[in-house]
Amino acid sequence: LAVVTASAVFATLVVVPHVSSHAQHWKAVSTSTSTFKPIPTRTVLKAAVYKEISVQPTPAETMDRTLYHQVSSPAWQPLLSFAGGCLTAMAAVAFWSQQRTMPKPQSMITLGIGAAVDTTELPQIVGRNEEPGSSNRRMEEMLRRGQEKICAAIEASDGKAKFRADSWVLDGGNGGGISRVLADGQVWEKAGVNLSVIRSKMPQEALAAATEKAAVYLKNLGLKPGEPVPFFVASLSCVMHPRNPHCPTMHFNYRYFELDENNWWFAGGTDITPAYLDVKDMQYFHGSYKKVCDKYDKDFYPTFKKNADEYFLIKHRGETRGLGGIFFDDLNDRDKETLLRFCEECLGNVPTAYVPIIEKHKNDTFTEEQKRWQLLRRGRYTEFNLVYDRGTIFGLKAGGRIESILMTIPETARWEYNHQPSPGSEEDRILQFFKKPGDWV
């Protein structure tokens, strides 16, 4: 109210007298599209639309086919000025109030871990602040061994390309990562295996991107509203996109998350995404992971297989990203040592479960239409990763290294309007399994 009143008074006492101090002003009414003739200008006002406006021309000043009308300030102009001042001030107050009440968007850096800086040398230890022999350090060491083993197996199968390794660190010594990426291979168009080890803090709302049990963990921590959540995470993630449509894409991720000594969990899994169905391949892939799961718990495979079918669902399409595998999250129902060994065996099983399928199909012939279908399925893959994938969403919200986070996206993909495969075709056959997952073992 104070701003409105002051603005109105200003409009009445300052603006109106200033305008009224001119005894009269002139307005030009154009009666044709002809140009103005030069007119001597005695007074020039700067305006928003016209560069020059001639004021108070003498009778000798004429203009072709243009009529000047002399108009005087009406008596009610002060009232209009007063009302205009009020409206202007009220609009300013409304805008100012809106800016104060609107929630400010949170930047990536604000959400947690700081900026990532690329380095030239691979570090011996990424999580430098973790105690030797601790679960945190042992998880990193296990993931690094797995990264090297899997990259070696993929290079041997490809026969041409090599993984390029680079590393990055976070400001303040909060950790970092090692990325290994293969591009333009003979078998794989793109493959990446990325390690991340981070200790930092994040807003409470960001925890929901990392786990479905965020509310439970926050309650256990007993944090005050707005108090940041301390966390540690060690993760190894991988996606491999082959060239041949008969060679399936493969993805895995294994990670350990810790908020404090009493609130921690393991998560991850391995899944496969073929463009064309080979039942024996799926039986082999799923069977190899069932063997690993059964060594620890007979309920692991059926539970984790169901988890994968549900997690990798592209909800807006009503179909899964691929043909599943195993997926688990918030796994903390037994001791850390047992679960660490379980994750290590699952990770070590990746070359065993995947490479023989690639060797079987990497030299298969394919048509242009089959390649087109593969690219369409890659489009689905991309949709899931950018819309639903928990690791991608958390990485973006936490301010992680973008090149590592988006490494999972294929180099080439395709979208077509309302594409439907021909009924009874090989494309339609596998689509039915995307819509209704099958049991392979």
pLDDT exceeds 80 at position 88: no
C-alpha–C-alpha distance, residues 439 and 441, integer Å:
6
The tokens of 124 are what?
Answer: 């011996």
Per the annotation, the verdict on 251 as an active-site residue is yes
C-alpha–C-alpha distance, residues 223 and 204, integer Å:
9
Let me know if residue 377 belongs to a domain.
yes
b or e along 127-153 (b: 16 or more beta carbons within 10 Å of the residue's beta carbon)?
beebeeeebbbbbbebbbebbeebbeb
Q: If 0-12 CB within 10 Å is exposed, 13-18 middle and 19+ buried, where does residue 217 land?
A: buried
Let me know if residue 98 belongs to a domain.
no
The answer to whether residues 188 and 154 touch, using CB atoms and an 8 Å cutoff, is yes
Residue 413 CA to its chain's centroid (Å): 18
Cα angle, residue 192 at apex, residues 188 and 194 outer, rounded to 5°: 165
Task: Assign 68 a pLDDT band (cuts: 50, 70, 90).
Answer: very low
Residues 6 or more apart whose Cβ sits within 8 Å of residue 110: 399
Task: Identify the pLDDT of residue 276.
Answer: 98
Task: Assign 209 a pLDDT band (cuts: 50, 70, 90).
Answer: confident
Task: Identify the pLDDT of residue 83.
Answer: 53
Let me know if residue 309 belongs to a domain.
yes
**What is the mean predicted confidence (pLDDT) over 329-358?**
97
pLDDT exceeds 80 at position 25: no
Residue 399 CA to its chain's centroid (Å): 10
Percentage of the residues of the chain whose pLDDT score is greater than 90: 60
**What is the mean predicted confidence (pLDDT) over 225-231?**
92
Among candidates 280, 279, 244, 247, which has minimal Cα distance to 366? 244
Write out the residue range of the structural domain in which residue 125 sits.
116-435
pLDDT exceeds 60 at position 200: yes
58-67, 150-159, 176-185: least confident range: 58-67
Let me know if residue 45 belongs to a domain.
no
* pTM as predicted: 0.74
110-114, 122-126, 198-202, 303-307: least confident range: 110-114
How many other CB atoms are there within 10 angstroms of residue 51's CB atom? 7
User: What separation in angstroms does the CA of 16 have from each of 6, 46, 76?
Assistant: 14, 18, 11
pLDDT exceeds 60 at position 92: no
pLDDT exceeds 80 at position 204: yes
C-alpha–C-alpha distance, residues 430 and 370, integer Å:
13
Domains in the chain: how many in total? 1
- Cα Dmax for the chain: 107
User: Rg of the Cα trace of the chain?
Assistant: 34
Let me know if residue 89 belongs to a domain.
no
pLDDT single digits (tens) 319-335? 999 999 999 999 999 99
Q: Mean pLDDT in the chain?
A: 81
Let me know if residue 62 belongs to a domain.
no
Of the residues 246, 251, 286, 361, only one is catalytic, namely 251
Pairing of strands 319-320, 313-314: antiparallel
Identify the CATH number of the domain in which residue 352 sits.
Answer: 3.40.1500.10
Let me know if residue 30 belongs to a domain.
no
Crossing angle between the packed helical segments 135-158 and 350-361, to the nearest 10 degrees: 10
Total number of residues shown for the chain: 441
The answer to whether residues 75 and 1 touch, using CB atoms and an 8 Å cutoff, is no
pLDDT exceeds 70 at position 75: no
b or e along 228-267 (b: 16 or more beta carbons within 10 Å of the residue's beta carbon)?
ebebbbbbbbbbbbbbbbbbbbbbbbbbbbbbeeebbbbb
Helix (H, G, I), strand (E, B) or coil at 209: helix
Task: Identify the pLDDT of residue 50.
Answer: 36
Task: Identify the pLDDT of residue 348.
Answer: 98
DSSP-H helix ranges across 163-312: 214-221, 279-294, 300-311
Let me know if residue 245 belongs to a domain.
yes
